[in-house]
Amino acid sequence: SQQGEEDPQALSIQEGENATMNCSYKTSINNLQWYRQNSGRGLVHLILIRSNEREKHSGRLRVTLDTSKKSSSLLITASRAADTASYFCATDAEDSSYKLIFGSGTRLLVRP
């Protein structure tokens, strides 16, 4: 069954605003990753947070992880039109370390 569910499914904001996307998962994990997918392209890794970490930053990205609630959030600050993409969270599976389980994704539109 699908591990991650993202919320919202779609998000439209003005350039310069912050964008927050949430991800919930069902089972215990070792780590959680966020990926970006531009239209018609492959996925690009953004950030990985391990289960013993609570927060991680990378440039304009901030990721939090709450293992007690089985949820994570991705915050993009000062958004740009180039941030327009789909964003996916992914976790390792409970039954195997050799597969990533992806969420359903959030489609982000940043209006210029």
Partner 1 sequence: DTAVSQTPKYLVTQMGNDKSIKCEQNLGHDTMYWYKQDSKKFLKIMFSYNNKELIINETVPNRFSPKSPDKAHLNLHINSLELGDSAVYFCASSQDWVGSEAFFGQGTRLTVV
- d(CA 36, CA 54) in angstroms, rounded, equals 21
Q: Which of 23, 65, 74, 100 binds partner 1 (CB under 8 A)?
A: 100
Stretch that binds partner 1, among 33-41, 59-67, 68-76, 77-85 (CB under 8 A): 33-41
Measured from the CB atom, the residue of 20 and 31 that comes closer to partner 1 is 31
Beta bridge partners of 101: 91
CB atoms within 10 A of CB 68: 5
d(CA 85, CA 41): 10
- Positions touching partner 1 (CB under 8 A) are 2, 30-31, 33, 35, 37, 40-45, 48, 86, 88, 90, 92-93, 96-102, 104-105, 107
